Amino acid sequence: MKIEHPTPINWQFAKRAEQLQSSVIREILKITMRPDIISFAGGLPSPATFPVEHMKAAFDKVLSQQGKIALQYGPSDGYAPLREWIADSLSIPGSVITPDQVLMVSGSQQALDLLGKVLIEENSKVLVETPSYLGALQAFSVYQPQFVSVPTDDYGLLPEAVDGIADGARLLYALPNFHNPTGRTMSVERRMALVETCARHGLPLIEDDPYGALSYRAEPLPKMLTMNPSGVIYMGSFSKVLTPGIRLGYVVGPTPLIRKLEQAKQAADLHTSQLTQMVVYEAIKDGFLAEHIPSIRTLYANQCQVMLDALAEFAPEGVKWNKPEGGMFIWVTLPKHIDCMQLLEEAIAQKVAFVPGAPFYANEAEKNTLRLSFVTVPPEKIREGVATLAKLIAAKI
Ligand code: PMP
């Protein structure tokens, strides 16, 4: 049976759903997926780094040896051996993380949503860097916070600015390593000062760290988690060190919070794919990441250098950019009068794309900023694309 003339539904979306918008970046990406476009817009890791054969072998092994377990429902907090592996990898002498402090999530993006769900009250204050990761702003927005921007400079967030705005805030969200979108790194001194300031105010500090392993220098900087495990919530991800398509991330924090997040996770999707977790554990348990990650770092560091050289060669006077110490992005600041949304239209007409900086600002945007990703474009195309972009900018100066 089929109802013949149903009354058309006047969809009344919940107030929180009204906050939802498609990410401007995902819209831009649709255009820039065209093969004829040199796209510096993507936030995607380079597929050249995906260990397809290694993953295939891990899938085969898990399915042939433990297929019935891998294809069954699993626990909400995640696959125990993988949680143990993560706890071990984050523990340092004097600051031990236990497996019950680890919750597996379906991409660290899910951790942002769950954190918003359990911590953010309507109209409550949420502190974010200026600019900040758009996906976090989107995830938190659903819970209707009042975003308060924490000022930053070339070395990241300014901890001393937090004192004046911490009162009554629910959380501070920070990206200390190779920030998205700016590619900036917070110094050890600033990390310590930020942890100390948040601890003094009893303010939960979220340390989002999907790019931390992609440091171009030998010694990565210490994690804020290790400086105060009772007040820092750490988010990690396999997206940038293995593959993003498996959608696997984790959140680590004090157990009362992790248990609450686990309940929220259970209500959202019961648990993250048991098969995926078992395959990832199989893929990494014997030290694969220690040999694989250096090859990603080398590729990205080389391509980053190609882009920095091209910027130095072609960018007109008045254009500024940073030199990332890791990760996937360079942040460019143009003279104040140039609107990067408009520049993007002209660039796409010339077959080059980037992401304008404006969507990354929770409050007032600096429209003269843009993000360049150097990881998916081959070196000769990086030079060509930067030269085209530089010409368009020069015409506006
Ligand atoms: N945080 C940041 C800063 C990101 O850049 C991303 C993805 N680009 C995520 C979280 C989400 O990553 P995933 O869900 O793939 O783990």
Give the pairing type, strands 169-174 and 205-208: parallel
Is the CB of residue 272 below 6 angstroms from any atom belonging to ligand 1? no
- Centre of ligand 1 to C-alpha 139, Å, is 11
> Which residue lies with its CA nearest to atom 9 of ligand 1?
109
State the pLDDT at residue 30: 78
Nearest to 141 by CA among 112, 110, 181: 112
Is the CB of residue 209 below 6 angstroms from any atom belonging to ligand 1? no
Place of tokens 């060669």: 313
How far is 175 from 184, CA to CA, in rounded Å? 9
- Centre of ligand 1 to C-alpha 334, Å, is 26
Is the CB of residue 180 below 6 angstroms from any atom belonging to ligand 1? yes
ipTM of the complex: 0.99
Coil, helix or strand at residue 35: coil
Is the CB of residue 249 below 6 angstroms from any atom belonging to ligand 1? yes
Please say if the pLDDT value at position 211 is more than 80: yes
What number does the ligand 1 atom closest to the CA of 108 have?
16
Please say if the pLDDT value at position 27 is more than 80: no
Give the pairing type, strands 369-373 and 329-333: antiparallel
Query: What average pLDDT does this structure show over 337-361?
Result: 95
Write the burial class of residue 230 (CB in 10 Å: 0-12 exposed, 13-18 middle, 19+ buried): exposed
Beta pairing partners, 372: 330
Of all residues in the chain, the percent with pLDDT exceeding 70 is 100
Please say if the pLDDT value at position 32 is more than 80: no
What number does the ligand 1 atom closest to the CA of 175 have?
3
Is the CB of residue 208 below 6 angstroms from any atom belonging to ligand 1? yes
Is the CB of residue 237 below 6 angstroms from any atom belonging to ligand 1? yes
Is the CB of residue 135 below 6 angstroms from any atom belonging to ligand 1? yes
What number does the ligand 1 atom closest to the CA of 110 have?
14
Question: Which run of H or of E encompasses 111?
Answer: helix 108-119
What number does the ligand 1 atom closest to the CA of 249 have?
16
| Residues 126 and 148 sit within 8 Å (Cβ to Cβ) | yes
In the chain, alpha helices (H): 15-18, 24-32, 52-70, 80-90, 108-119, 134-141, 188-201, 224-227, 255-269, 274-284, 288-314, 340-349, 379-394
Coil, helix or strand at residue 184: coil
- Centre of ligand 1 to C-alpha 210, Å, is 6
Residues 341-350, buried b or exposed e (16+ Cβ, 10 A)? eebbeebbee
Is the CB of residue 113 below 6 angstroms from any atom belonging to ligand 1? no
State the pLDDT at residue 162: 98
Give the pairing type, strands 146-150 and 156-157: unpaired
Please say if the pLDDT value at position 19 is more than 90: no
Please say if the pLDDT value at position 390 is more than 90: yes
- Centre of ligand 1 to C-alpha 26, Å, is 13
Place of tokens 């991330």: 249
Categorize the per-residue pLDDT at 89 as very low, low, confident or very high, splitting at 50, 70 and 90: very high
- Centre of ligand 1 to C-alpha 271, Å, is 19
pLDDT in tens, 274-286: 999 999 999 999 9
Beta pairing partners, 150: 129
- Centre of ligand 1 to C-alpha 282, Å, is 23
Is the CB of residue 43 below 6 angstroms from any atom belonging to ligand 1? yes
Q: Whole-structure pTM over 0.90, yes or no?
A: yes
| Residues 359 and 180 sit within 8 Å (Cβ to Cβ) | no
Place of tokens 């003094």: 200
Categorize the per-residue pLDDT at 1 as very low, low, confident or very high, splitting at 50, 70 and 90: confident
Mutate to test the pocket of ligand 1, among 44, 86, 108 (most ligand atoms within 8 A of CB): 108
Sign, CA torsion 221/226/228/234: positive
| Residues 265 and 76 sit within 8 Å (Cβ to Cβ) | yes
| Residues 331 and 357 sit within 8 Å (Cβ to Cβ) | yes
Is the CB of residue 131 below 6 angstroms from any atom belonging to ligand 1? no
- Centre of ligand 1 to C-alpha 236, Å, is 9
Which tokens hold the place of 240? Answer: 């940038």
State the pLDDT at residue 343: 96
